Amino acid sequence: MKAFVFPGQGAQFSGMGKDLYEKSPLARELFEKANELLGFRITDIMFEGSDEDLRQTKVTQPAIFLHSIIVAKTLGEQFQPDMVAGHSLGEFSALVAVKALSFEDGLQLVYQRASAMQKAGEIHPGTMAAILNLPDETIEKICAGIDEIVVSANYNCPGQVVISGSIKGIDIACEQLLAAGAKRALKLKVGGAFHSPLMESAGEKLKKAIDTVSFKTPECPVYQNVSTKGETSPEKIKANLIAQLTAPVKWTQSVQNMIAAGANDFTELGPGNVLQGLIKKINSEVQTQGVS
Catalytic residue among 67, 87, 124, 195: 195
Residues belonging to the chain: 292
Distance CA(210)–CA(30), nearest Å, equals: 22
From the list 67, 68, 87, 88, the catalytic residue is: 88
Is 88 marked active-site?
yes
- Separation between Cα atoms, residue 131 and residue 174, nearest integer Å: 8
Strands 160-166 and 126-132: antiparallel
CB 183 within 8 A of CB 132: yes
Helix (H, G, I), strand (E, B) or coil at 247: coil
Cβ pair 100, 218 in contact under 8 A: yes
In the structure, how many helices (H) and strands (E) does the chain have? 13, 10
Phi/psi for 162 (5° steps) reads: -105, 130
Which residues does 135 contact at the CB level (< 8 Å), separation at least 6? none
The question of whether 195 is a catalytic residue gets the answer yes
Kind of pairing, strands 265-269 and 2-6?
Answer: parallel
Q: Where are the beta strands (DSSP E) in 43-183?
A: 83-86, 126-132, 150-157, 160-166
Catalytic residues: 88, 195
